[in-house]
Amino acid sequence: MFTESAEFYDALYSFRDYAAETARIAEVVRWLHPEARTVLDVACGTGEHAARLASQHGFAVDGLDLDRGMVQIARAKNRAGRFVEADMIEFSLDGRYDVILCLFSSIAYLVTLDRITRALSGFRRHLTAKGIVIVEPWFPPGELDTNRVWRLTGSHEGVSVTRVSRNEIDGRISRLRFEYEIESAQGIRRASEVHELGLFTQEEMRMAFSAAGLVTTYDPVGLSGRGLWMARDRVSA
């Protein structure tokens, strides 16, 4: 996945309006769970959402990610939180959270509905009594353009990155091929990655939440046009 790009992830995604996204997340949380204070950011990446949710909106935020490089960067940004290297399918943490987030379509990296259900079941086990789960999905089947080539450029703290990407579809798997050119004080280098994300319909995702014991509400727009799932434990719904 992000084996090559953790170190320049913030440069690559410098175009994102993290302030607006975290404000929207905070708004959704306070609407669904006004007393919420603690947040677990699953697949937290470099911890930018977490840092803003803590510093700008007053939440106590922890995080986890499968990529060690991402976790190290997230820890540096979030000194007050606990950020650990863990798999979203099988993590087990002490304590429970009022909110569990899984953003930027990270859930789709699990590729199959069975694995998604297992992850959601783990989310449910880590919720407080009135806790909520917020998940940003990937695109459903039939929506990705496989004929287009995307070019994205960003910079952060003296590092500039250009990424050229293409989509491929293999049944229910979308394969994203990324080619990077990274320019820094050390010179220019190139790297490549292939990311695989599962393609699921809205109904399939709803069934996965239900199988994990969660009751859902769905926003078709969400943070970036990909939609947003909001859920809570069926017992406390």
User: What DSSP string runs through 5-49?
Assistant: TGGGHHHHTTTS-HHHHHHHHHHHHHHH-TT--EEEEET-TTSHH
The pLDDT, as a whole number, for residue 125 is: 97
The pLDDT, as a whole number, for residue 8 is: 83
What is the number of other CB atoms lying within 10 angstroms of the CB of residue 234? 14
Helix locations, the chain, DSSP H: 9-12, 18-32, 48-55, 68-77, 113-125, 202-211
What is the number of other CB atoms lying within 10 angstroms of the CB of residue 210? 15
Q: How many secondary structure helices (H) and strands (E) does the chain include?
A: 6, 11
Q: Model pTM greater than 0.75? A: yes
Chain centroid, CA 139 distance in Å:
14
Domain ranges (residues) in the chain: 16-139+201-233
CATH code linked to domain 16-139+201-233: 3.40.50.150
Q: How many whole angstroms separate alpha carbon 184 and alpha carbon 44?
A: 25
Mean pLDDT of residues grouped by 10 in the chain (237 residues)?
73 88 96 97 96 98 96 95 97 96 97 98 97 97 95 90 96 96 92 96 98 97 94 86
What six digits make up the tokens of 82?
């606990």
